[in-house]
Structure 1
Amino acid sequence: MAKQNYDESSIRVLRKLEPIQLRPGMYTRTNDPTHIVVEAIDNAVDEAMAGYARNIEVTLHRDASVSVRDDGRGIPTGIHPEEKVPTVQVVFTVIHSGGKFAKGDADSSYKFTGGLHGVGVSVTNALSSRLEVEVRRAGKLQRMSFAEGEVIEPLSITGNCAAKDTGTAIRIWPNPKYFDSPSVSRSELEHLLRAKAMLLPGVRVTLNIETASGQDVKEWHFERGMAQYLDQMIAEDEPIAPAFCGERYLTGNDSFASGEGVQWALAWVSGSGGGESYVNLIPTLGGGTHEAGLRDTVFNSVRIFAEQHGLMQRNVKLAADDVWARLRFVLAVRMVDPSFAGQTKEKLSSREAVKLVGAAIKDTFDLWLNEHVAEATRIAEQAIRLAVARTRSSKAVERRKSSGVAVLPGKLSDAESSDNRITELFLVEGDSAGGSAKAGRDKEIQAVLPLRGKGMNSWEVERSQILANQEIHNIAVSLAIDPHTLDSALDMNELRYGKVIILADADDDGEHIKALLLTLFFRHFPQLITHGHIYIAQPPLFRVDVPAQGKGKPPRKLYALDEAELTVLEARLRQEGVREGAWQVSRFKGLGEMDAIQLWETTLCPDTRRLVRVEVGDDLHGTIGMFDNLMGKANAAYRKEQISAHGNEVEADI
């Protein structure tokens, strides 16, 4: 039975590493312990990236433990001025600690690192049954041990070493109770280490695998770095042009900090495309804004080259996918302050990365195309052939738009493309927000249909009568899909947009509009949901304006989805050293307050927006019952009873 009294004893304070151990999924992947090992590897990589380590060695032991050793400077072992314990102990036991929070400062130990989450090896320690660290520094060999995140062997001097013999060695025993599988993914680890060696030319990376018969050793060392790595990546493909490789790091200006920049290797092949991207040597498996910047840059440059050299065919329009589909690439970005979507850092969310990649690559790529005309022509012609095939494919599908069966609504701002594999329809609350969305959208693939007011509750409206409502009629005609049931015979090829996105204000009125539209789709257009076509956009509620911080930190505009995210964002600014109160928080009263650029950056851009796909769970009857309770006229008494019982629990945004 739940505790009835709510008093001072009800409040629990999580100390030290308890938050990580209580909710490990908030800090790392829990399918296996690979990521907590990667956190330790990343510390060694940061030493190599800063120019202090030349060797990184990882060992998979037979007892399921993992060792990570480097010859960097060694973690400081002196007494920390604030915590009054050895600094190495602080690094492994305090969540928000490390030498990377001041990385934009002139005296910072690290300028470029893989993020500013401030958890790192403290997560590794918290989720390990045992962890041992050995530091070689200042002619001394020092050691300490932890169990379940707690110190069990205090720091002690165990021997002497040469003054130039420095570095850190960590041995990790992952705690199996926190992971679905207790084993580190060997294939993922090998790929990661190989990539780290590629991104650090001249650094030797070794993986030792202990076996019953001895030790299996794998070593990676790329003297030519990324170009050599790309050669191996496309060894089984047939390049249609020589690889375009290079790097460019920018001097400080109003937009970028000194040293920020990009390294790249691109090759167009006859087979399928794909690639790898990194931010400060952290692999971004989910891509992100840096890949979006590369995509935009190569597409625009190839399109302009094709137009200037008379290669374009009549009535054929290039799309970004036509240029991107056969591109193999490796992309590595260096940023002073990258932002990632989640602690595992698999997707970059920094909007500045789009401009950074464009500024670093565009002029060099344009020059390369015009210096290699024959090769550039083959690249453009390949993209044009794909565009022709795409155009023929889209014309093969009969569209309601051109059939004359129905006239599209006058309020609809349609997309230029008719390929429902890439097109999107935004159902936007109000004409004001609709105007901003129309101005800010990508006209090639995005359509906007403004909706007036909250619309009708369609739960108990007969299907034969539903189109009498003008707003619902406009939605149906825009989609080219008639009202139907779950078992209706329906040709989804007629659907004019692959994504139907509900875009409403981030307040209670907006939630009501979303509920009414979801009721409409679940009741009268259910196959749009079951086929995964309905999405809900998540516009931010807050904007945070951060002033410039010296020459290396230009002014920034950050966005927070809600108050919880705003709290985290402000905590991060404090950790960066931004003076309390220097930033300004603005609350959006509605989408209409956002200009076109803000709406594009936060809600429309496929690479930076947040979408939630609407799905129906396994309990279909339970879902129908829920809608009956919430939307049915006969259940008004039930809703009144629920409001009376639980209304005080709601934090309404009024």
Structure 2
Amino acid sequence: MNQKKSGSAYNAASIKVLKGLEPVKQRPGMYTRTQNPLHIVQEVIDNALDEALAGFGSKIVVTLHTDDSVSVEDEGRGIPFGLHPEEGELVLEIVFTQLHAGGKFHKNSDGAYTFSGGLHGVGASVTNALSYRFDVTVWRDGRVADIGFSHGDVVRALTVRKANGHIDKKSGTRITVSPDPKYFDSATVPQAELQYLLRSKAVLLPGIEIVLVIEKTGDRQSWEYKNGLRSYLLEGLAGYDTLIPLFEGERYAESCHIINNVFSRGEGASWVVAWVEEGPIFRESYVNLIPTPAGGTHESGLRDGIFHALKRFIELYNLSLKGVKLLAEDVFARVSFILSAKVLDPQFQGQIKWQLNNRDIVRLVSTLVRSSLELWLNEHVEHGRRLAEFVMKRAQERIRAGQKVGKRKSYGIAVLPGKLVDCESRDVSRNELFLVEGDSAGGSAKMGRDKEFQAILPLRGKILNTWETKRDRLFENNEVHDISVAIGVDPHASDEILDLSHLRYGKICILADADVDGSHIQVLLLALFFRHFPQLIDRGHVYVARPPLFRVDAPARDTNPAQKLYALDESELEIIVDKLRKDSTPGSAWTISRFKGLGEMNADQLWDTTMNPDIRRLMPVQLGYLDFNKTTERITMLIGKGEAAARRIWLAEKINKVQGSI
């Protein structure tokens, strides 16, 4: 008989609606890094850089004050400080106290910013929410405006005075931030990381001087790179010689052909690439001046363009070796690069913008890089021959290393599952296993995969919730048994270390429908791996594939071929449709389809959207901002058998976010 717990009343009054900046204060880890306040300071720096990127101002000064506050001052246009025509409130209050308010939503010729790192109108308001002091001074239109905030609230009302021509600058903004220590493990901005950030920004903005002033020591550092990316890459290579001269390029979408392929004028990239035989590998990428340490689709485009250009050169000059198949990893293994992309509507992974997700940017960057490198190689044939010899040698070494590892068909626990469609490669680090929902999707995946290194294991429906299942009873479930046997790893007992010596796949990819049932299957599989195969997650072997939810079919028009464009979600769909409208394509000229499941995709579609390594969205499974114990507690609350009451409370707290997304 169930016992009614005291204090567990659930009624209309239990529903709490967080307003303004309260969500940020309650869950800061959802909006920023909480190890230190560098990221919230970077949000202010990025706003200043966006002004410089738009062509306003040539100098940005960042000051570390003795009280650990940070000031950022630019020479831009200055934030408007009048009343908003629609909201009837002061613009300076709106942009710093409301989420999703800013000047970077209108990405067109009439907007204030065409290319910018700011997307959501969230960044500086998050900084304000997590700061006990947030002061803003604006010089604009011959006047000086000043306002002060604390924890997101106005504590010093706006004052406006006439500018003194002898003292006040013509235009610009200065923001002083004092991070609140209670939100961070350390309230001090790490000086070395800040220096690195500012230096890399200067590289990406030739002609812009970025200055760092440190009041405690009186030091003043300045960065201004005349040669931009080249100088920065050579500095990063630490003096090691390059195999061939640097390959540099800068190209942007200008022609109608590119624009009508859903790329807007001005989108593109600049890059510098080096091959080194020894020494460190130095790789950095940026999107609209925002660093992307986890890479993303722009890096995939660079990789794809370089590979196909060199492969074409090798075929043209008959430089291939018998029995050796060249792979992208052979070409890219010893590549160092700096890549700076400009994207009209960048879609990042998370608010901290660590990875670019725009699927179409792969094709754009690949097209620009490939054509440039093909021309360069044919103009420098001797350098091309030397590079071809180098990468073919690496391919031979890879093949020899793979031959030392025999194909395993049994590990003493069971014969490989009959429904497993295995791959041909013996290279565990390269091999991938896709756990696919249902036989229908499994059939498409089997036909669409690259059989050399991709294996398919279809699963029948939802697996057992194994969160509270003992190890000795796991194999009573056929699906769990088949997964364990296929990957070649036994589940652990208590706190023992998993034996990964027989692991058969470097990547284990969960591939489920982009709907509620698919999400449930993902959760059950993630619970299985986290509880019973934790080292697979610790060592980065588990991934979640993200198939698209929509397809847009745009018919051929004029000289442009028909296109099939895919969107991960409704926000990406909106971006695609907006770009089609900007290209003057009639609204009736395209159709939008929603995928009900992976089984609706044919083999080519599944490959193009979800399995192609150069284009797909493959998310590594990591603990994130919670540690192991907190993650265990959270999962127990979410799927544990005796946690219904805790789940109800948690859902009540999150209901406003669900409503906001409907």
What pairs with 1:330-345 in structure 2 (closer than 5 Å)?
Answer: 330-345=338-353
The residue type equivalent to 1:191 in the other structure is Y
State yes or no: 1:304 paired with 2:312.
yes
Give the structure 1 partner of residue 400 of structure 2: 392
Distance of 2:631 and 2:261 partners within structure 1: 55
- Kindly indicate whether the alpha-carbon contact (under 8 Å) linking 2:56 and 2:75 is maintained by their aligned counterparts in 1: yes
Name the CA distance, whole Å, in 1 between partners of 2:124 and 2:495. Answer: 53
Q: Distance in 2 between matches of 1:577 and 1:502?
A: 33
1:130·1:145 contact (CA, 8 Å) conserved in 2?
Answer: yes
What SS does the aligned partner of 2:444 have?
Answer: helix
**How many angstroms apart in 1 are the aligned matches of 2:134 and 2:633?**
48
Amino acid at match of 1:95: L
Aligned to 1:55: 59
Kindly report which structure 2 residues correspond to 1:594-605, keeping only aligned pairs within 5 A, or say none.
594-600=601-607, 603-605=610-612
- Separation in 2, partners of 1:629, 1:143: 53
- Return the offset for 1:255: 2.1
Pairwise CA distance, 1:545: 5.4
Task: Tell me if the contact between 2:95 and 2:121 (Cα under 8 Å) persists in the aligned partners.
Answer: no
The code of the aligned residue for 1:177 comes to K
Aligned to 1:82: 86
Residue type of the partner of 1:281?
A: L
Whether the 8 Å contact between 2:32 and 2:39 is mirrored in structure 1 is: yes
Post-superposition CA distance 1:383-404 (Å, at most 9, x none)? 222222222222112222599x
Structure 1 position 15 matched with structure 2 position 22: no
Counterpart check, 1:148 vs 2:157: no
Task: Return the letter of the residue paired with 2:550.
Answer: R
Out of 115-124 and 440-449, give the one that drifted further: 440-449
Aligned-residue offset at 1:164: 7.5
Contact 1:140–1:161 at 8 Å: present in 2 too? no
1:157 aligns with 2:161: yes
Change in 2 beyond 3 A, CA 1:570/1:491: closer
1:421 lines up with 2:429 in the alignment:
yes
Identify which of 18, 22, 26 aligns with 2:30: 26
1:174 aligns with 2:179: yes
Could you tell me which residue of structure 2 aligns to residue 199 of structure 1? 204
CA distance in 1, matches of 2:19, 2:483: 52
Equivalent-residue separation in structure 2 for 1:234 and 1:600 (angstroms): 36
1:73 partnered with 2:73: no
1:392-442 residue CA offsets vs partner (Å, 9 max, x unmatched): 222112222599x99977754433421001111123233320122123334
Match of 1:633 in 2: none
- When residues 157 and 240 of structure 1 are mapped into structure 2, their CA distance, relative to the original with a 3 A threshold, is same
**Residue 266 of structure 2 corresponds to which residue in structure 1?**
259
Q: For residue 336 of structure 2, what is the amino acid of its counterpart?
A: R
Answer yes or no: is the 8 Å Cα contact 2:540–2:621 preserved in 1.
no
What is the identity, as a one-letter code, of the residue corresponding to 1:135? V
Code of the residue aligned with 1:440 in structure 2: it is G
Q: 1:430 aligns with which of 405, 427, 438?
A: 438
1:495-644 alignment, distance < 5 Å: 495-505=503-513, 529=536, 535=542, 537=544, 539=546, 542-543=549-550, 557-560=566-569, 588-600=595-607, 603-606=610-613, 608-612=617-621
Q: Give the alignment partner of residue 187 of structure 1, picking from 188, 192, 197.
A: 192
Total equivalences in the alignment = 622
452-461 or 13-22: which moved more? Answer: 452-461
Decide whether the 8 Å contact of 2:623 with 2:631 is kept in 1. no
Give me the whole-angstrom Cα distance separating, in 2, the residues matched to 1:193 and 1:27: 22
Distance 1:573 1:356, change over 3 A: closer
CA drift at 1:88: 2.2
Question: What is the deviation of 1:571?
Answer: 10
Aligned equivalent of 2:3: none
Deviations 1:586-643 (A, max 9, x none): 66433212334553465435551335479996799999x99x997xxxxxxx99xx89
- 2:658 maps to which residue? none
Q: CA deviation at 1:572?
A: 9.2
Instruction: Provide the C-alpha distance between the structure 1 equivalents of 2:492 and 2:116, rounded to a whole number of angstroms.
Output: 53
From 235, 240, 252, the counterpart of 1:249: 252
Shift of 1:55: 0.6
SS of match in other structure, 2:189: coil
Measured in 2, the distance between the counterparts of 1:131 and 1:197 equals 25
Q: Does the 8 Å CA contact 1:57/1:208 hold for their aligned counterparts?
A: yes
* Cα distance, 1:506 vs structure 2: 5.5
What is the alpha-carbon distance in structure 2 between the residues aligned to residue 33 and residue 455 of structure 1? 42
Q: Deviations over 1:216-263 (max 9, x none)?
A: 011111122222222322242111111011100112323200111110
Matched residue of 2:568: which SS? strand
| Counterpart contact for 1:485–1:527, Cα < 8 Å | no
- Structure 2 SS opposite 1:500: strand
The residue number in structure 2 matching 1:563 is none
Moved more, 476-485 or 169-178: 476-485
Question: Which stretch of structure 1 is more off in the superposition, 245-254 or 158-167?
Answer: 158-167
Query: 2:537 touches 2:622 (CA, 8 Å); kept in 1?
Result: no
Q: Which runs of 5+ in 2 are unaligned?
A: 1-5, 656-662
Matched residue of 1:121: which SS?
Answer: helix
Query: What one-letter code is carried by the residue in structure 2 that aligns with 1:190?
Result: Q
> 1:364: Cα distance to partner?
0.8
Partner of 1:132: 135
Residue number in structure 2 paired with 1:279: 287
Contact conserved, 2:237 with 2:281, CA < 8 A, in 1?
no
Whether the 8 Å contact between 2:538 and 2:622 is mirrored in structure 1 is: no
More deviation in 481-490 or 527-536? 481-490
Counterparts of 1:512 and 1:80 in 2: how far apart (Å)?
Answer: 44
Q: Which amino acid aligns with 2:232?
A: Y
Q: Secondary structure at the match of 2:371?
A: helix
Tell me the CA shift for residue 332 of structure 1: 0.7
Alignment gaps of 5+ in structure 1: 561-565, 631-637
Of 349, 370, 373, the residue aligned with 1:365 is 373
Match for residue 353 of structure 1? 361
Shift of 1:288: 0.6
1:375 Cα deviation from its structure 2 partner: 1.5
- Specify whether residues 194 and 157 from structure 1 end up closer, same or farther in structure 2 by C-alpha distance, changes over 3 A only: same
Using a 3 Å threshold, how does the CA distance of structure 1 residues 168 and 347 change in structure 2: closer, same or farther?
Answer: same
Question: 2:26 & 2:311 partners in 1: Cα distance?
Answer: 52
Larger mean CA deviation between 328-337 and 297-306 belongs to: 297-306
Question: Is 2:50 aligned against 1:46?
Answer: yes
Q: Note if contact 1:131-1:173 (Cα within 8 Å) is conserved in structure 2.
A: yes
Aligned-residue offset at 1:296: 1.4
What is aligned with 2:116? 113
What fraction of aligned residue pairs are identical, expressed as a percent? Answer: 47
SS in 1 for 2:159: strand
The 1:533–1:400 alpha-carbon spacing in structure 2 relative to 1, beyond 3 Å, is: farther
Farther-moved stretch of structure 1 (339-348 vs 117-126):
117-126
2:619 maps to a residue whose letter is R
Aligned 1:416-495 pairs, distance under 5 A: 416-451=424-459, 478-479=486-487, 492-495=500-503
Conserved 8 A contact 1:134-1:168? yes
Q: Give the superposition deviation at 1:355.
A: 0.9
Q: Which residue matches 1:4?
A: 9
More displaced 10-residue stretch of structure 1: 581-590 or 80-89: 581-590
Q: How far is 1:556 from its partner?
A: 5.7
Provide the secondary structure at the position in 2 that maps to 1:400.
Answer: coil
Distance of aligned partners of 1:116 and 1:544 in 2 relative to their CA distance in 1, 3 Å threshold: farther
In structure 2, the residue corresponding to 1:41 is in which secondary structure?
A: helix
Hey, what's the Cα distance between the residues in 2 that align with 1:260 and 1:621? 43
Partner amino acid for 1:253? N
Note the aligned Cα RMSD (angstroms).
4.5
